[in-house]
A and B are shown apart, each in its own frame.
Chain A
Amino acid sequence: MCLSIPSKVVKIDPELNIATVDTMGVQRTAGLDLMEEGSVKIGDYVLLHIGFIMNKIDEEDALESLRVYQEILEKLDEEERRVLVLEDDNCVNREAP
């Protein structure tokens, strides 16, 4: 019921107050009744729910989240490398022939 789908606006029909959206290759129409007039534009990412556009997806915020996730991965990689170096330093078999 509440699960909604990110989609991209590909066409707008101001007469009928509907937009055509693309959801991973599937196209369908969605009502613009819940959106301020003129606020939705072609190319916008939107959230679709039971035939209506609920809201626009803020691209900057989405990109910011994805950037944070990449940073987390890089930090964890660094941490893992550091642990490997330490383990190597303390390797008990170092003197072994």
Chain B
Amino acid sequence: MSSLELKDLYDGFRDPDVIKGYQKLIAAEAKKLDRNVNIMEVCGGHTHTIMKYGLTQLLPENINFIHGPGCPVCIMPKERVDHAYVLAMQPDVILLTLGDMIKVPGSHGSLQDARAKGADVRYVYSPMDALKIAEENSDKKIVFFAIGFETTTPMTAALLDVVIKRGINNIFFHINHVTVPEVMKELIDSRDEHVNSYDHRIDAFIGPSHVSVISGSKIYELFSIEYHIPVVVAGFEPVDVMEAIYMMMKQFNEGRSDLEIQYKRLVTPEGNLKAQALIEHYFEKVSLFKWRGMGNVPNSGLKLRDEFAAYDAEVLFENILPYDEIDDHKLCICGDILRGFAKPQECSVFGTACKPSSPLGSCMVSSEGACAAYYKYGNLI
């Protein structure tokens, strides 16, 4: 008989007393440290937790958060949104996607705007929902606009696996999956001496929670070994984040730059091998993927392997997809925010011309975006 209850997995990691306990432990370590440190939380889920629980207000002044680019909707470039828009506007296409993707503005508008013009755009809870939609609409081409980091890539692969095994011939994939270590590497490599001042130095990474459930913590070894930057893989609950910060502070004080797992209940160094095998079977890396606000990041995107080209919407619709480069909105500083060079409230249109109800940039569109988190929780420190 288990002594663990489901509610313990929620309440136990949100206990305000434990949060306060870590606050004291962190304060003691921070005092010993006697210097400022910048911690980047790579993942939007962590940004959300930090803002929602007001963790910045519980931490000493010498700990600063840099909000990273780990929000799949935020980093979606207009070029890819425009692909989705064009595909959705085809009379014989039903376009499916996840989450906030439907609200991201492209150069013609968002998928929501396409829907207002009569396009059949649907938000799905799970990629597997595509199976039923394909069955009910056998005269239509179902295009799954696949987004997300390593967390969601295996789910796309699992859908393709079923599509192939069942011989379904009207489901296609537009792949926009991206990978975390490559963008973390880009964030460090692209920091020249000018930005390597205190303001923008990354002293430690909070490793993403659920990317790591799939990929294992091993994908971050490079940062602790080659770059000598501590990485602590943390869960999404507030106690998880506070414990991870405490672990980092101890690393700083002990002069270590180790890769550690705080989120031990779900993350192992190896990760989910079956999910990794599915990804490996169906996907290969693309040499460049353009991230909104960050430009081209080497080896950070995935595409379907050539042997699965028959399911690739980019191959099938090659003649109608636009390939022009598009600049980001001039006033939006989402790029600088994703790189950690600016905070949302430093943007001239934050909370005025750009709000969750009428976003100019993608950091405001997604609930995981740094701007949306700052706007929602009013945590303007």
Listed in ascending order, the chain A residues whose CB lies under 8 Å from chain B are 1-4, 6-8, 22, 24, 31, 33-36, 43, 45, 47, 49-52, 54-55, 57-59, 61-66, 69, 72-73, 76
Which residues of the partner chain B approach A62 to less than 8 Å between Cβ atoms?
4, 8-9, 12, 265
B129 A2 Cβ-Cβ under 8 A:
no
B155 A1 Cβ-Cβ under 8 A:
no
- Bitwise interface map of B from 24 to 42 toward A, beta carbon under 8 Å scored 1, else 0: 1100000000000000000
- Bitwise interface map of B from 249 to 287 toward A, beta carbon under 8 Å scored 1, else 0: 000000000000000111000001011001000000000
| B43 interface contact, C-beta 8 A | yes
Chain A residue nearest to B261 (CB atoms) is A61
| B99 interface contact, C-beta 8 A | yes
A57 B9 Cβ-Cβ under 8 A:
yes
B369 to chain A minimum Cβ distance, whole angstroms, is 11
Which residues of the partner chain B approach A57 to less than 8 Å between Cβ atoms?
9, 265-266
Query: Which residues B117-165 have CB closer than 8 A to chain A?
Result: 125-129, 147-149, 151-152, 154-155, 158, 161-162
Q: B6 contacts which of A6, A36, A51, A63 (Cβ < 8 Å)?
A: A6
A45 B6 Cβ-Cβ under 8 A:
yes
A49 B25 Cβ-Cβ under 8 A:
no
Query: Which residues B311-339 have CB closer than 8 A to chain A?
Result: none
Within the assembled complex, what's the spacing in Å between the Cα atoms of A4 and B243?
20
* Chain A to chain B contacts (Cβ below 8 Å), 24 pairs: A1-B152, A2-B44, A2-B70, A2-B209, A6-B9, A6-B10, A24-B7, A31-B158, A33-B162, A34-B278, A36-B274, A43-B2, A45-B9, A47-B210, A49-B210, A51-B127, A52-B128, A52-B158, A54-B210, A54-B213, A54-B214, A55-B214, A66-B12, A72-B21
| B190 interface contact, C-beta 8 A | no
Q: B239 contacts which of A35, A47, A64, A69 (Cβ < 8 Å)?
A: A69
**A59 and B4 in contact (CB under 8 A), knowing A34-B155, A47-B213, A51-B128?**
yes
| B3 interface contact, C-beta 8 A | yes
The tally of residues in B whose CB lies under 8 Å from a CB in A reads: 61
- Bitwise interface map of B from 191 to 204 toward A, beta carbon under 8 Å scored 1, else 0: 00000000000000
A50 B214 Cβ-Cβ under 8 A:
no
B155 A49 Cβ-Cβ under 8 A:
yes
A36 to chain B minimum Cβ distance, whole angstroms, is 6
A51 B266 Cβ-Cβ under 8 A:
no
| B206 interface contact, C-beta 8 A | no
Within the assembled complex, what's the spacing in Å between the Cα atoms of A62 and B197?
39
Within the assembled complex, what's the spacing in Å between the Cα atoms of A22 and B45?
23
A67 to chain B minimum Cβ distance, whole angstroms, is 10
